[in-house]
């Protein structure tokens, strides 16, 4: 019995010196880097140039490289007029990649007459990469010309949107 009491006293004595921690704490810091915002600005407006029509509908395809092809009853006269794909300057952070969103359709008018512009394409297509924080995006599209389309200068003063966003 003396041995049991001595053992019990030793356990009580040792446990009185041991400290048990039920909770501990560590500390971390937080940080963030705010990067240069991506930006886009128009440098050149889209222009399909001079187009001659007939009794058959057709199209004029303007590539991002500012070349034109025709289909259907459309003729591209030798006096081409101003032909230009739209161009945009994109700027941002270093060698970042970004997505390019093009419109689906756009209407140009002359008085009460309309033509639809659609099938937009771009160079680069879909995703661009900034080189030293800058890149040019060129945009082409298809002009849909009706049979016997009325003569006139077709425009849309509000323009069309090209959107870029960091990936």
Per-residue pLDDT of the chain in tens (167 residues, 90 and over written 9): 566 666 565 565 555 555 666 899 999 999 999 999 999 999 999 999 999 999 999 999 999 999 999 999 999 999 999 999 999 999 999 999 999 999 999 999 999 999 999 999 999 999 999 999 999 999 999 999 999 999 999 999 999 999 999 99
Report in angstroms the alpha-carbon separations of 16 from 23, 56, 153: 19, 102, 97
Residues found in the chain: 167
CA atoms of 117 and 158, how far apart (whole Å): 14
What CATH number was assigned to the domain covering residues 36-166? 2.60.40
The DSSP output letter for 5 is: H
Task: Tell how far CA 147 is from the center of its chain.
Answer: 35
Residue 40, both tokens: 């886009």
Contacts of residue 31, Cβ cutoff 8 Å, sequence gap at least 6: none
Question: Which is nearest to 116 in space by CA: 76, 146, 150, 87?
Answer: 146
pLDDT at residue 22, as a whole number: 86
* Residues 93, 131: Cα–Cα separation, whole Å: 9
User: Tokens standing for 52?
Assistant: 């001659």
**CA of residue 32 relative to chain centroid, distance:** 24
Cis peptide before 164 (omega within 30 of 0): no
- Which residue in the block uniquely carries the two structure tokens 């995006």? 137
pTM metric for this prediction: 0.83
Q: How many CA atoms lie within 13 A of 145 on its CB side?
A: 29
């Amino acid at each position: 019995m003396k041995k049991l009491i001595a053992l019990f006293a030793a356990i009580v004595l040792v446990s009185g010196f041991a400290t048990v921690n039920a909770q501990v704490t560590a500390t971390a810091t937080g940080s963030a880097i705010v990067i240069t915002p991506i930006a886009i600005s128009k440098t050149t407006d889209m222009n399909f140039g001079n187009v001659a029509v007939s009794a058959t509908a057709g199209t004029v395809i303007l590539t991002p490289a500012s070349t034109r092809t025709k289909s259907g009853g459309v003729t591209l006269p030798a006096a081409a007029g101003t032909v230009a794909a739209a161009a945009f300057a994109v700027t941002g952070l270093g060698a970042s990649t970004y997505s390019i969103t093009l419109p689906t359709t756009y209407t140009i008018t002359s008085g009460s007459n309309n033509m639809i512009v659609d099938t937009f394409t771009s160079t680069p297509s879909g995703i661009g990469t900034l080189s030293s924080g800058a890149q040019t995006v060129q945009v082409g599209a298809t002009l849909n010309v009706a049979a016997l389309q009325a003569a006139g200068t077709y425009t849309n003063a509000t323009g069309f949107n090209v959107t870029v966003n960091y990936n």
